[in-house]
Amino acid sequence: MESIRFHVRKDDLVQVTAGKEKGKTGKVLKVFPKKNRVVVEKINFVKRHSRPSGKTRQGGIIQKEAPIHVSNVLLVCPKCNQGVRTGHRVLEDGKKFLECRKCGELMERK
Ligand SMILES: [Zn+2]
Please tell me the distance between residue 85's alpha carbon and the centre of ligand 1 in angstroms: 9
Please tell me the distance between residue 83's alpha carbon and the centre of ligand 1 in angstroms: 8
> Taking ligand 1, which is a single-atom ion, which protein residues have CB atoms under 5 Å away?
77, 79-80, 100, 102-103, 105
Considering the entire predicted model, what is its pTM? 0.81
Please tell me the distance between residue 61's alpha carbon and the centre of ligand 1 in angstroms: 39
pLDDT tens-place values along the chain, 110 residues long:
344 467 899 999 999 999 999 999 999 999 998 899 999 999 999 888 877 766 666 678 888 999 999 999 999 999 999 999 999 999 999 999 999 999 999 998 87
Provide the 3-class DSSP secondary structure of residue 35.
helix
Please tell me the distance between residue 59's alpha carbon and the centre of ligand 1 in angstroms: 46
Strand arrangement, sheet containing 25-32: 68-69, 37-40, 25-32, 13-16, 73-77, 82-84
